[in-house]
Amino acid sequence: MEWLSDPGIWISLATLTALEIVLGIDNLVFIAILADRLPAERRATARRVGLALALVTRLALLFAITWIIGLTKPVFTLFEQAFSWRDLILIGGGLFLIAKGTTEIHNRVEDEAESENAKGSSAKRGALFGAVVVQIAIMDIVFSIDSVITAVGMAKHVEVMAAAIIIAVIVMLIAATPVSDFVNRHPTVRVLALSFLLLIGVTLVADGLGFHIPKGYIYFAVGYAIFVEALNLMTRRRRKPGPERTGG
């Protein structure tokens, strides 16, 4: 346990934890959007289950480092481009995110989601909860692979990697409800979040095809869009007449 007194270990833990939190943003947004499809009383449960699955998946993959490294080895070549199992998983996950984001935007714009939920029976809602959990579990695997590979590349001690992953998931668990409530309270922010998932899907497909797009560009673009939308929300609130202005 002498490594606990090494300042470099703590610096590595802090850096890796921050990176894991950043890499978990897309996972958190995906869970928040999927959970919103459920009845209000089941959304918090879905978010907790989703993040618990993310934690279990990442720790399981972390302790299977040899298998993870094996996923990066080419399995076949197509048009002079080598593909590994990691590439195929990223491409599949990216296509799923693009399809899911497009579908959710369509439902939001066409206002079909509320009408379908209103007509559904309790049995149908139960099936929907199971479907949401399955989709979260599938995307947890996709997001966790990159997260674990990043952790393995940045830290030498498995304990440090595991601690960083646990701390990051705890932070996401704390932030899950406020983030979800904010996204669902503002329709335009929800569309921005869905657009963010579309961009993440594109980056995953590109990464699987051998074209690496730094996620920093995606986070900056979406962060700037959210900043502009925050200014719009502030302006809208100031323009809204208050009780003292209407005399009522």
Q: What is the mean pLDDT of the chain?
A: 76
Asked whether the beta carbons of 193 and 33 are under 8 A apart, the reply is yes
Residue type, 65: I
Could you list the beta-strand ranges (E) of 41-104: 74-78, 81-84
Q: What is the per-residue pLDDT for 151?
A: 67
For the segment 27-44, what is each residue's pLDDT rounded down to a tens digit? Answer: 788 888 888 777 878 888
Question: In this model, does residue 150 exceed pLDDT 70?
Answer: no
Asked whether the beta carbons of 66 and 211 are under 8 A apart, the reply is no
Asked whether the beta carbons of 88 and 76 are under 8 A apart, the reply is no
Q: What is the per-residue pLDDT for 158?
A: 74
Phi, psi of 83 (to 5 degrees): -120, 135
- Give every CB contact of residue 184 below 8 A, 6+ residues apart in sequence: 32, 36, 190
Phi, psi of 201 (to 5 degrees): -60, -45
Q: What is the per-residue pLDDT for 1?
A: 52
Q: Of the candidates 116, 112, 155, 190, which has an alpha carbon nearest to the alpha carbon of residue 18?
A: 155
Phi, psi of 99 (to 5 degrees): -65, -45
47 pLDDT tier (thresholds 50, 70, 90): confident
For the segment 133-145, what is each residue's pLDDT rounded down to a tens digit? Answer: 888 887 777 777 7
Q: What is the per-residue pLDDT for 161?
A: 79
Q: What is the per-residue pLDDT for 2?
A: 55
For the segment 14-26, what is each residue's pLDDT rounded down to a tens digit? Answer: 877 887 777 777 7
Helix (H) or strand (E) holding 72: none
| pTM (2 d.p.) | 0.67
**Start-to-end C-alpha separation, the chain:** 68
Question: In this model, does residue 232 exceed pLDDT 60?
Answer: yes
For the segment 106-119, what is each residue's pLDDT rounded down to a tens digit? Answer: 777 665 445 545 54
Biggest CA-to-CA distance, the chain: 73
Q: Is 126 helix (H, G, I), strand (E, B) or coil?
A: helix
